[in-house]
């Protein structure tokens, strides 16, 4: 079961985020069938209409597609689409807040660059 966050984000969007996370992690690969609405709803312990709303939302974004009578499948371009959407959301949202905090604390860009490069080196090892 997914523990839904106590925030202002609708549950159907949190479910969509979970599916996108699974696409990025390789759990759902291009062309793969995702769980049926009923099965996924049962596993998450939510109403099937909520999951259907998530699937329709992802379909509108081009991340999944529906084969009538068969189910929903991961689009070939799903990975790139999810990365693009998340990148745009991050750059226009969270990153702006991070930049503001860096400015207010007087952290120079060179120091940030060095911290980021150290992070990348630590992750690659």
For 106-119, the pLDDT digits (tens) are: 999 999 999 999 99
pLDDT value of residue 2: 60
Q: Give per-residue pLDDT as tens, 23-78.
A: 999 999 999 999 999 999 999 999 999 999 999 999 999 999 999 999 999 999 99
pTM to 2 decimal places:
0.79
Backbone angles phi, psi at 72, to 5 degrees: -100, 145
Helix or strand holding residue 80 (H, E): helix 78-89
The two tokens of residue 83 are 């990365």
Question: Residue 65: CB partners within 8 Å, gap ≥ 6?
Answer: 59, 72, 73, 75
Half-sphere exposure of 21 (CA within 13 A, CB side): 7
- Give me the pLDDT at residue 7, please: 76
Q: Region 70-93: what's the mean pLDDT?
A: 96
Task: Identify whether the C-beta of residue 75 lies closer than 8 Å to the C-beta of residue 30.
Answer: yes
């Amino acid at each position: 079961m997914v523990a839904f966050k106590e925030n202002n984000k609708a549950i159907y969007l949190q479910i969509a985020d979970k599916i996108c996370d699974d696409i990025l992690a390789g759990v759902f690969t291009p062309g793969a069938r995702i769980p049926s609405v009923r099965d996924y709803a049962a596993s998450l312990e939510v109403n099937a209409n909520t999951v259907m709303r998530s699937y329709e939302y992802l379909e509108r974004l081009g991340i999944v597609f529906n084969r009538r009578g068969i189910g929903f499948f991961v689009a070939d371009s799903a990975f790139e689409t999810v990365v693009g959407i998340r990148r745009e959301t991050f750059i226009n949202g969270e990153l702006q807040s991070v930049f503001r905090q860096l400015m207010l604390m007087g952290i120079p860009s060179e120091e940030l660059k060095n911290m980021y490069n150290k992070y990348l080196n630590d992750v690659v090892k």
